[in-house]
Structure 1
C-alpha cells in the first residue's frame, strides 16, 4: 500500500505570556490551507496532534492544555494603518475542532516579534534600538492591538529581567494595548459591552441555582460570578477544580446558560461547539494563599482574586483576553469584579490568579448612559522557542 510522504511547512514555536503556540505566515501554508475551511482546520489539528483520545497530543506540537494547544496565522495587513493581520485558532485537544471565535491575549504579545522577524512589518517602521510599535489587526474579533516590541541592534530583544507569574524564566517586557476592546456592534455579542443591558444579572442555572453574574464583552466574552456562590474562596489552584468532574460540569453548565443570555448561542446544546468563548470566571475579595509555584501571595498584594476556566479546565494563570475583561469590569462601578475589588472608580487592578498576580489597567467611561472602554493595557513577555519547519503527512488535509 502506497503512503503519501510527509510535507514540511515553515513555522515558529513561540511562547507569548503564559501560552505557547505554533506560528505561521499565511503565505507559507499549503495553498489549500490559505483559505478558511476544512483543509485549514485539518492541517492545524494534525500539526497540534488532535484529536487525541489519550488527551496528551503526543503526536503533535500541542502540550495537552488549553494554554499550549494554539495556532496563529499572520499576514501583512489588509487594513489601513495596520502592519499585520493576526488570526488565532484554539485547537481542541480531544475533538476534531478548531475554535476561531475569539482572540488569545497572551499570544498577542508574541505577534509583533514574529511579524518583525518574518518580514511582515515595513522595515522603515522598525528602529535599530528602542521600541517597535507594531499595529496589529486581530482578525477573529475585528479589533486593534498595539504591541511595543523592544529592539536591540536591529533585532527583537527577547531576553530581559521582566518576571511574569506563570512563566518560569524572566524575559524582555512587551507592553500590549488592546484598543476599544468592548463589543462595538460588529461582534457576536449583540453590539454592547453588557449584552443584557445590566451590570449584574441573575442567572438561573439548572442544578446550580440562581447566581449573580456580570456578563461582559471586553477582550473576550466573559461571565463573572462570585466564588462564594459556587462554594469556593477564590484561592483555589488547578487541582481543586480540574480534579473534580462535578465542578467542571457545574462550570460548563454555567457557561452554557450564560452564553445563551449573552446572545452568543441560541440553545445550551450549542456550547459544546463553541469551546473558546465565552469564558467563565469566579471572583473574591483579597485573601492570603500560596501560588502553584510555592510563592506566598498575601491579601495586601492584590485588589481581588480571580480564577478563570478555559476550554473546560481551570487556567494555570490567566488568559490575556480575560485579563482585559477583568480590567474593564473592575473599572466600572457596580460590576461583581469592581465590587470584589472594593468598589469605586479604578483605573487599574492587581488580581491574584493560581500562579501569582497580574496588573491590568483600563480606561472606561460612561457616555449617554452606556459604558465604553478606550483601551486596556498590560505587560507580557514573549520568546521564540524553536523555528524551522513542522512536518505533517501529506494527505492530512
Structure 2
C-alpha cells in the first residue's frame, strides 16, 4: 500500500493573551508556502486540523474554538524602523478557509517574545535586564504595534505575577501599544457617523429590525449594539449565547449587513468569505455578574459591560483587537460605548467581559470634525507552550 510520508516543520505553540496558536518563522516553511496562496493556506489548514466536520480539530493543533484556531508567520521586517513582520491567519474550524482580513490582538503579545527568542530582533536592541521594545509591523492591517517584552539576564521573561482574566495562571506582563490604529487616510467611522441605524431583515423567529449601531475601524472593524435592543442585559456568558442557534443566526445576519454598510464587502454573499471581520459586540451599563470562572465582578469594578462574538460564537473573554475598538469608542463622545458609561467618554475604561475585566486606554483627538486615535494600550501576557516541529502529510499542500 502506497503512502505519503509526513514532513516536519519547525514551529512553536504559544499562548498570547487569551488566545493560542502555532507560530512559524517564514523561512522555516516549505518553499512554496513562503508566499501567499493556496499552498500556504492548505498547509495551515492541515496543521490546525481543518476542515473538521466534527468541529473538534482532533487531527491537528487547533482547539476547536476561534481563540485556539490561529496561526502566525513571522519574519525580519522589510519595513524601515521595524523589527519583525507579523502575519496572522484565522483558520476556520469546519470550513477549508483561512481568513487573512484582520489581526489577532491577543497573539500580538507573543510576537515580540517569539521574535527575540528566534533571532528576528537585533541583539543590540535587547537589554540585559528591563524591557525590549519590539517594533512590530502588522502585515494584515498595515499597522505598527509596539510590544514591551520583559527581559531578565538577556532572555525573555515569561513567568511573573501578572493576572489576566481569561487565563488561569499568572505570567509576566507585556504592555502592547497599538500605534495609530486608524491613520489619517482612513475613516474611523466608515459611514461618517458616530452612530447609525442598521436595517436587518427577519431571521427565523426574529422580525426585521432597525438597530442603533456604532460602526468603527480601530484595531479591527467592529459593530457595536446596545444589549437591551437585542433583549440582553450585557452580563451574558458563553452558554447564554452559544447554545442559542437562532440568536447566533441573528448575530451573523447583523454582521453581514453591517459589513455591507461599512463598505467591507460588495454584497451580502461575500460575508461568508470574510468570517474574521467585522466583529459584532453589544454593550450595557455596569452591572454585577459572576464570570465564567466564578469571579464576582461588582458594578463598581467596571465602567460598562461588553460582550463580543468571534467567528460566529460569543468569545470567552475579549479579543485584543476588539479591546482596541472598545477603548477608542469609549474615548469618543456619542458612541454607543461611551453612552453606556455612566460618566460618559473616558480615556481609560475598564469593562466587564465573560471571563472578568480588562482595562484599556486610548489617546484620541478630533481635528476638523474627524476623529483619530494616536495610540491604544493594554497589558497582556504570553508564554511558550511547546516548541519543536509540527508534522503533516507531505501531500497536504
TM tier relative to shorter chain: over 0.9
SS of 2:44's partner is helix
Normalization by structure 1: what TM-score? 0.98
Give the drift of 1:316. 0.1
Counterparts of 1:242-391 in structure 2 under 5 Å? 242-391=242-391
Which whole-Å CA distance do the structure 2 matches of 1:200 and 1:215 have between them?
A: 7
- The 5-angstrom pairing of residues 67-146 of structure 1 reads 67-146=67-146
Structure 2 residue 194 is the aligned partner of structure 1 residue 199: yes
Check conservation: 1:146, 1:176, Cα contact below 8 A.
Answer: yes
Shift, 1:304, TM fit: 0.4
Shift of 1:2: 1.8
How much has 1:342 moved relative to structure 2? 2.4
Distance 1:62 1:355 in 2: 21
What's the counterpart of residue 29 of structure 2? 29
* 8 Å CA contact 1:333, 1:343 repeated in 2: no
Q: Does 1:14 align with 2:14?
A: yes
Q: Paired residue for 1:39? A: 39
Give the distance between the partners of 1:361 and 1:98, measured in 2 at CA: 31
The secondary structure found in structure 1 opposite 2:124 is: helix
How far does residue 345 in structure 1 lie from its aligned partner after superposition? 3.8
Aligned to 1:188: none
Deviation at 1:77, TM superposition (A): 0.1
Shift of 1:269: 1.3
Q: SS at 2:181's partner residue?
A: coil
Distance, in Å, in 1 between the alignment partners of 2:230 and 2:42 is 38
| Deviations 1:291-334 (CA, angstroms, capped at 9, x unpaired) | 00000001101000000000000000000000000000000000
Are the structure 2 counterparts of residues 135 and 375 from structure 1 closer, same or farther at C-alpha, using a change threshold of 3 Å? same
* Alpha-carbon distance in 2 for matches of 1:29, 1:343: 51
Superposed CA offset, 1:166-208 (max 9, x none): 00000000000000012544xxxxx300000000000011124
Matches within 5 A, 1:100-249: 100-182=100-182, 184-185=184-185, 191-207=186-202, 208-249=208-249
The CA deviation at 1:346 is: 1.0
> For residues 10 and 226 of structure 2, what CA distance do their matches in structure 1 show?
45
Alignment partner, residue 205 of structure 2: none
Tell me the TM-score normalized by structure 2.
0.98
Contact 1:184-1:193 at 8 Å conserved across structures: no
SS in 2 for 1:67: coil
- How many correspondences in the alignment? 392
Q: CA deviation at 1:343?
A: 4.9
Report if aligned partners of 1:88, 1:104 keep a CA contact under 8 Å in 2: yes
Structure 2 contact 183–372 (Cα < 8 Å) conserved: no
Compute the displacement of 1:56 (Å): 0.1
Structure 1 regions of 5+ residues with no counterpart? 186-190
Equivalent pair of 1:183/1:217 in contact (CA under 8 Å): no
CA distance in 2, matches of 1:341, 1:375: 21
Q: Does the residue aligned with 1:366 lie in a helix, a strand or coil? A: strand
Question: 2-side partners of 1:294 and 1:276: how far apart?
Answer: 29
Give the match's secondary structure for 2:150: strand
Q: Deviations over 1:53-88 (max 9, x none)?
A: 000000000000000000000000000000000000
2: CA distance, partners of 1:27 / 1:331: 41
Q: CA deviation at 1:344?
A: 3.4
CA distance in structure 2 between the partners assigned to 1:197 and 1:297 by the alignment: 36
